[in-house]
Structure 1
């Protein structure tokens, strides 16, 4: 069974290949004009003018399509530029806000010194209270 599948897959590929090539050949139509050819894409309706140069067919978009494409490119370039400017503004404002709101190294160390002194004093008070009122000697209350 496995041998049949391996043999039939290449045959299937060979049978399908001409169909796709024929589909591409049928997609475009060439019509001869006085100074060259007009190529039409039967799927999209796009038209191009073609001329023979050095034994090859060179095609270019029709003038009305070129202006539509150029207009769209200009519009998109404007959008990209506006987005780049917006990103730059956002990055700059965020960076400056973060830098201005963070304390300097000196301010941080000073604050940590205050916190350390506070906790040392607080722990000293707790120790003093524990010395004055020692916990009861017997078993403590049942906490279960």
Structure 2
């Protein structure tokens, strides 16, 4: 297994964890917040989708799917306080879009060599993620950064432990 394969496997694991946490949740459940001051799950899914498109395009320009008009704005930081379900997507819509983003990411990885990972990352990200490889790792682990927030919602809803 080479470094690109490790990134691919890490991404697959991240997606498996979050999808397991979301699988038995309803659209209404996605509007739950894990705690006061936290973002609800619908906003988090939209954030994952829009930010992963941005990250993917920073690594492979044009590789990310085009999101529906207004989607990124709908899930911007200034919208995280909204509890109006009409301002957010359904679980099916989020999972469909996320599947498209994931397929695009995996397709883009097909064109990445190990030496590509050592190239400088996007200039605006270099202080934290100096190389393209560091940004690919961020992209592959981003969902796991949010996964812990799904568990308290599941517990509050009485859902079973899935992982």
Answer 1 or 2: higher relative contact order, Cα 8 Å, separation at least 6: 2
Q: Is TM more than 0.5 here?
A: no
Q: Which protein has the larger Cα radius of gyration, Structure 1 or Structure 2?
A: 1
TM-score, structure 2 length as denominator?
0.20
TM-score, structure 1 length as denominator?
0.22
Choose between structure 1 and 2: higher strand proportion: 1
